[in-house]
Structure 1
């Protein structure tokens, strides 16, 4: 009988392009393909090391002169809602939650376009057509869900989150919502609801993507208690957001080869139960 050894994932670096979060900066990503056997184990392991999923790719920032982007997650057990967050949760609790398989619909895309046109008209996703949107939702090799929130009386789609189910939590890959009710804070509501979902499922974390000090787009994440950031190769509680700055020295960042060498890959044969 012939035995084949598992092939270790190969890591690559994207070409520099304008940063979507900090004006005047250039971003670069370290990435690998999410394919073959053991994709769930690889996704779990790299998510715990600050990587994010986009379709069949796992990536994390690896900028040459900036390390402002910090992967963030909420420790569900340590989370305590603020008074404002409790009001947000109660204000939209009437919405009906529906979790489905990762399948794109016309209603989702219509809401997605309204959201982009209102909130991110000049962003990198502004030109996405319906086929690219469908690929974002449906091209996933792991356990993913589309969590929809609908108005109970009209059935109108109000908010959507593409969510991955990890071994230790929920990862909110991408979320969007109706932009014409800003006082409802629907983005915050979805995070709060995912904390409840994770708690009910016995999952310890909700992964939020990146917190970027100095970026107005990402600043809201620091408002959640129990927030942890991935820094120096480990997760640590974010107790004083004001201590962090977007100002960095280029020598703060390790060379790409050193970054790759420090990535911990799942051991062969370790399977999720």
Structure 2
């Protein structure tokens, strides 16, 4: 194990408008993932709330705000409720394939369609095909693109209706970014189905968790993540189960920020 892996150098971004809570500023702490131990570093950082974007691992480090909370589903104990069982049955005809992380024109067209329907004013709408290729292919860890297609006909692959860039970590699957047909032709609940499919895939592979990124209190866009139980949240005392009562609580400042500041590793 190299010193670079054991003591990565961290940096902090300049404040910018928060995309989730109006009137607030966001800031991130991040480090590079490179070298032969990038996967191990990504696994270790993932367990303390970091997320990967290409060759960078980051987590929120916002002054005076700790609304972003890392969440993960306990795959072995997940039991779909009645509506989730209906979604699984409704989409059981989809053909699911874990593909090598190589960007395709079909995936990029689906992403553009998804962004137009769901996030027309978001920053990702400015992505071109080269940006998408970088997002998918610049991965220093074990990644796949899970594709969801309608049934094949006459030996031809069915239409691509969903996809998810996914990392396999030592203890689970991390859903980096999912996108799907979300306009008037959408299958109802396809985004939810993709999450449940990942939970079932993790369980079948003997992996403990599915990492869903950050749950943001007060953001309607993130409320869907609390539908998948048991769900663990990362707080000052480590990972704990989210309860109905605690789903509306304000989490305290994350201890990792204090640890990094005290160690002098923030730059």
Fold match by TM threshold 0.5: yes
1:1-273 alignment runs, 5 A limit = 6-7=3-4, 8-153=7-152, 155-180=158-183, 181-182=185-186, 184-240=188-244, 243-245=247-249, 253=253, 258-260=258-260
What is the RMSD of the two structures over their aligned residues, measured on CA atoms? 2.0
Number of equivalenced pairs: 256
- Deviation, 1:208, is 0.5
User: Conserved in 2, the CA contact under 8 Å of 1:214 and 1:245?
Assistant: no
- Deviation, 1:184, is 1.6
User: Conserved in 1, the CA contact under 8 Å of 2:236 and 2:254?
Assistant: no
Cα deviations across residues 235-268 of structure 1 (Å, max 9, x unaligned)?
010012665356x8xxx547986241689xxxxx
Of the structure 1 ranges 41-50 and 122-131, higher mean CA displacement relative to structure 2 is found in 122-131
Could you tell me how far apart the structure 2 residues matched to 1:91 and 1:256 are? 42
Could you tell me how far apart the structure 1 residues matched to 2:187 and 2:95 are? 19
SS of the equivalent of 1:49 reads: coil
User: In the alignment, which residue of structure 2 is the partner of 1:271?
Assistant: none
Could you tell me how far apart the structure 2 residues matched to 1:11 and 1:49 are? 14
User: Conserved in 2, the CA contact under 8 Å of 1:52 and 1:60?
Assistant: yes
Could you tell me how far apart the structure 1 residues matched to 2:177 and 2:262 are? 28
Cα deviations across residues 111-158 of structure 1 (Å, max 9, x unaligned)?
000000110111121211111011000000110000000011461100
TM-score, normalising length from structure 1? 0.88
User: In the alignment, which residue of structure 2 is the partner of 1:269?
Assistant: none
Cα deviations across residues 14-50 of structure 1 (Å, max 9, x unaligned)?
1111111111111100100001231111011000000
Could you tell me how far apart the structure 2 residues matched to 1:121 and 1:106 are? 20
TM-score, normalising length from structure 2? 0.90
Structure 1 residue runs of 4+, over 4 Å off? 254-257
User: Conserved in 2, the CA contact under 8 Å of 1:20 and 1:124?
Assistant: no
Could you tell me how far apart the structure 1 residues matched to 2:58 and 2:244 are? 27
SS of the equivalent of 1:141 reads: coil
User: Conserved in 1, the CA contact under 8 Å of 2:61 and 2:257?
Assistant: no
Q: Kindly tell me: are residues 254 and 40 of structure 1, through their superposed partners in 2, closer, same or farther at Cα, counting changes over 3 Å? A: closer
Q: Kindly tell me: are residues 238 and 129 of structure 1, through their superposed partners in 2, closer, same or farther at Cα, counting changes over 3 Å? A: same
User: In the alignment, which residue of structure 2 is the partner of 1:267?
Assistant: none
SS of the equivalent of 1:104 reads: coil
SS of the equivalent of 1:71 reads: strand
SS of the equivalent of 2:125 reads: coil
